[in-house]
Structure 1
């Protein structure tokens, strides 16, 4: 029997004997992402009521909506460095509880400045969240499952928004906008405690030896925690940051993420205001219609991971399997421009739903971080990726706030479309072949010695 046939014979046996503790990890990531995105989007739900109560101009609304992004983006790089040194079991619940408390306090804030300050705190404390998700996924899942898992837990952002946005609008209508923040913050505090109690690294968890071997043999970095403890120094090494900024491939995914998330940040900030102020809908009606594009995005996210992993299993290259859904999704996202050419609310929602489906279908970009990042610098690379990508969380709310007028939102959609076209070009021409980037030469030489 050939070696290849032997491997194919042994693998199913190992899989049958292996436990499935990683399924619980996927569910935990999913729930955390639901909470994460509710705490990002709750301000957009409450914004029309806040703007009316505090008499905010579109420019002031744009500033408040962008406050999250200032600290969220700024903390990505130090957050990534921290992730390479503090285990997810400790770092994630600390961040989760603190950002949830800041969210809850927004419900008792009495003015514009207080809301901005608290929103800055939420952004700062949420900064490590997605790099931690990537760190956990890279540790717990083999390459062949990773895109599906990333798609699954990423879908949490849209499931939460699709199903719970109507609940938040009801809370606002039945009580006041203050309860939108109190409720979402309270849930986050509870979940932070649950994460600390339940999460473990693969070798310290309920996963049996067969499952750990299955993950490791498939490319999962089950020992990354021990390796980073042994190799990463506690002081900041600027050469690590320089290293992850030298690669054209990494710059491709950094810039591509900015373009991709620009569409998402429109939906997380201006979309409810667009429906209420520019389409004349009431809060309950807008809450229902807001959920439709989120449902479309959810379908896109779930399909993207399955399609990508299916392409990989059928023998397509990692680059094709990962980039094809991303580029296809970005192409579909340009359909958002159609909202500028119709007065029909039904057609507007259709165009926006197709665009957000495309945004969801393209959302497996973290799989490229897992595939490209130097193994020792997963957190640092993820932090840089999220830093540059989420500069859109600053740019999108502010740029749209200055482009739109009291009566026309058309320049806002034109801006989103133009940025998306740039994203398509970046993934086509800059990323190239997908393969893990080598560590710094001095580190490689030291390891070899």
Structure 2
């Protein structure tokens, strides 16, 4: 939801922080750097953690990064906040895969992934619709807009901690988890 709203907030950010076109471009791409650099190592390291706790930690990181961005007095702090937000987003992916496997039979995984993509599209679309509305309601204050998104993420985190559940799938009980090198060799 928030990842794709930077373009809406960028004119106000640029005006306040006097951002150059290069800095604007760096901000636009920063949240994807984590995906490029950390997708494989993060997936490998976090796939052994509890999906509920991993999701809570990832959403918490994303939440804190939103508040860091809203506070950012200079470009570099804003850039770090964007990068951390991207890392928080990519860190949720292994948990999503584990939860899908835990809760759904293998023949339904493709359907569940399709539903997940639809919900993701609705959330992103909702963010793109709401961001300019919130920005207008806050008189163009991008910092307040990011704080509102941060409070939304706090709500999601609390709901997840209360309602989120993991379970052991019978098919997974006897699986021996290979070490990292075996996984990489198998993938290649």
Category of TM-score, reference length = shorter chain: 0.7 to 0.9
C-alpha distance in structure 2 between counterparts of 1:41 and 1:68, whole Å: 10
Deviation of 1:58 (Å): 2.9
Deviations along 1:357-409, whole A, 9 cap, x unmatched? xxxxxxxxxxxxxxxxxxxxxxxxxxxxxxxxxxxxxxxxxxxxxxxxxxxxx
Deviations along 1:265-305, whole A, 9 cap, x unmatched? xxxxxxxxxxxxxxxxxxxxxxxxxxxxxxxxxxxxxxxxx
Deviation of 1:86 (Å): 0.6
C-alpha distance in structure 1 between counterparts of 2:120 and 2:131, whole Å: 15
Aligned residue number for residue 78 of structure 1: 41
Aligned residue number for residue 144 of structure 2: 179
Q: Give 3-state SS (helix, strand or coil) of 1:127's partner.
A: helix
Deviation of 1:73 (Å): 2.5
Contact persistence 1:88–1:136 (CA under 8 A): yes
C-alpha distance in structure 2 between counterparts of 1:86 and 1:162, whole Å: 31
Deviations along 1:338-366, whole A, 9 cap, x unmatched? xxxxxxxxxxxxxxxxxxxxxxxxxxxxx
**Where do residues 1-400 of structure 1 align in structure 2 (5 Å cutoff)?**
38-175=1-138, 176-203=141-168, 222-224=170-172, 226-227=173-174, 231-232=176-177, 237-244=180-187, 246=188
Q: RMSD of aligned C-alpha atoms?
A: 2.2
C-alpha distance in structure 1 between counterparts of 2:102 and 2:170, whole Å: 5
Q: Which runs of 5+ in 2 are unaligned?
A: none
CA radius of gyration, larger in: 1
Deviation of 1:44 (Å): 2.5
Q: Give 3-state SS (helix, strand or coil) of 1:39's partner.
A: coil
| Count of residue correspondences | 186
Deviations along 1:308-331, whole A, 9 cap, x unmatched? xxxxxxxxxxxxxxxxxxxxxxxx
Q: Give 3-state SS (helix, strand or coil) of 2:35's partner.
A: helix
- Deviating runs (4+, > 3 A) in structure 1? none
Deviation of 1:65 (Å): 0.9
| Greater relative CO (CA pairs within 8 A, separation 6+) | 2
Deviation of 1:54 (Å): 2.7
Q: Give 3-state SS (helix, strand or coil) of 1:40's partner.
A: coil
TM (norm. structure 1) is 0.38
Deviation of 1:223 (Å): 4.0
Deviations along 1:111-146, whole A, 9 cap, x unmatched? 211100111111222222123212221222223422
